[in-house]
Amino acid sequence: MLFMSKNLKILVAQLNPVVGDIKGNFELARGALAQAKDKGADLLVLSELFILGYPAEDLVLKPAAVEDSMKAVQALAAETANGPAVIIGSPWMDGKKRHNSAVLLKDGAVAGRYDKRELPNYGVFDEKRIFDAGEGPLPVFELNGIPVGIAICEDIWYPRVPSALAEAGAEMLIVPNGSPWRRTVQVERHTSFSAWTKTGVPYLFVNQVGGQDELVFDGASYAVDFDGTEHQLLGDFVTGTALVTFDGETHQFASESKAELSSGWEAEYRAAVMALGDYVNKNRFPGVVLGMSGGIDSALTAAIAVDALGPERVWCVMLPSKYTSSDSLEDAKLCAQRLGARYDTINIRPGVNALDEMLAEQFADLKPDTTEENIQSRLRAVTLMALSNKFGHMVVTTGNKSEMAVGYATLYGDMCGGYNALKDFWKTEVFELARWRNMAVPKGALGPGGEVIPMRIITKPPSAELREDQKDQDSLPPYDVLDDILRGLVEGEEDVEDIIARGHDTATVKRIEHLLYIAEYKRRQAPPGVKIGGKNFGRDRRYPITNRFRDA
């Protein structure tokens, strides 16, 4: 006697929705549905809150946004009359309660819904304020004779939902995700998820891809069998679809799609490229303009911009003053040329002279100090903003995390702009990333290969060049020392005494702690930048501006 195995053919859609673009996201879903039909799939799976985009933040508090999302999902349901079924993420109102839901569309109608139970409320997440958690028995849906449960993103990080679904009879879990990337995320996902480790239930992880303000999503969708065997279906930082079949008898997945994930500096660089590119493109800027100083931060930022947008959309502008060295002039031009970007020089000395004349009476008999340095930085910002206003290019800022931490940046000067690709990279990481980019061209990059960042930019001592013979280490400890102290204070929330115990000078540690706290007002006014590490300035770390605490 022959027994027919129960199979479920699933098309995984790893796509890049735009927050608030319900119509555009609907068309993306329709395109994926057409693919699923062509490939003979039984089920199409889209990511968390797909129809409105994730994270939509307080946009989900706007009734019209939720209503339009629900209408779009119902319109998509009508297109499933002849199959396949669809699981799509959407906000959903049920009476007065607002849920983060995964909706099952089948046979031309909304066939069921699962409401997210574990609402993350830490780090970059704030879901408890805007959503109500799901309640009641967990639904299990039968698809091709296979009992299927749904868990949404955070639900799978804890045992409660997977265990309850297993007890309810689910033999496989579908897990739509809006899981943002960070440098530790692959290890966390592949070692911390509780679905199969706690219950033995296979699961399918479907994640979105793309940049959304400070966050970037890597996709990296995969499946896990009952015994923990993993199938990497799609790569990271790319859109695409993959067909995977679940065997209801063996509880295993099978697919011809096989992908490898990037790691190390390649992953971090690709994350920065995608985040900047999507920020520019989704906000419909024609390109970017940045101050090209001849230093490593602006050089690396220019490389990221060229790789994200193409050289024809990147405008590098050298803004020299009387303190700008000939080395910087040469290095800035050579870097822009190697990247293929547009390069112009606009001397700010006439503007500096004009302000000196304007302020001569008020500044009479006073010695020059950081005031005159900041005037130069702010004149550069005014110039770049004028170019932005006239030609439409977004100004990209170039400061790194170390500088932002201690306030080594000028408010309304070099902090002026729309986005900062290096905001979550420590200075020591900037050097390493620059060296890596000179040796490799990341997947999907639109820029050239080779030594795009001249080696002298990497090896010369960093300087803001706002006064004669200025060097960063005139006022800061060496960057390897500084970054180790800051990692402890910012990412580890370590006590000062623990950092000192690692061999750091007591006075230096206390001074850096003081600088970190008093620069909070600057960080509050800084442009957004992509999250790379475990704790970024902005969404992750929100300290009071008025703050007299110091670790005694």
Which residue ranges are tagged as binding site for deamido-NAD(+)? 374, 403, 522
b (16+ CB within 10 A) / e for 454-468: beebbebebbbbbbe
State the Cα torsion 138-143-145-150 to the nearest 10°. Answer: -30
Cα separation of 89 and 73, whole Å? Answer: 9
416 tagged catalytic = no
User: Residue 91 in 3-state DSSP?
Assistant: strand
Catalytic residue among 48, 154, 171, 513: 48
Cα separation of 51 and 88, whole Å? Answer: 7
Q: Residue type at 296?
A: I
At how many degrees (to 10) do helices 296-309 and 427-439 cross? Answer: 50
Phi and psi angles of residue 317, each rounded to the nearest 5 degrees, phi first: -125, 120
Cα angle: 22, vertex 26, 32; to 5 degrees: 150
Q: What's the half-sphere exposure (Cβ side, CA atoms, 13 Å) at 319?
A: 28
Question: How far is Cα of residue 424 from the mean position of the Cα atoms in its chain?
Answer: 10
> What are the binding residues for L-glutamine?
122, 179
| Residue written as token pair 């050097």 | 431
Catalytic residue among 106, 127, 153, 429: 153
Cα separation of 257 and 460, whole Å? Answer: 46
Phi and psi angles of residue 60, each rounded to the nearest 5 degrees, phi first: -75, -10
> What are the binding residues for ATP?
291-298, 398
Contacts of 367 (CB under 8 A, 6+ apart): none
Residues counted in the chain = 552
CA torsion sign, 338 to 340 to 345 to 348? negative
> What are the binding residues?
122, 179, 291-298, 374, 398, 403, 522
Catalytic residues: 48, 116, 153
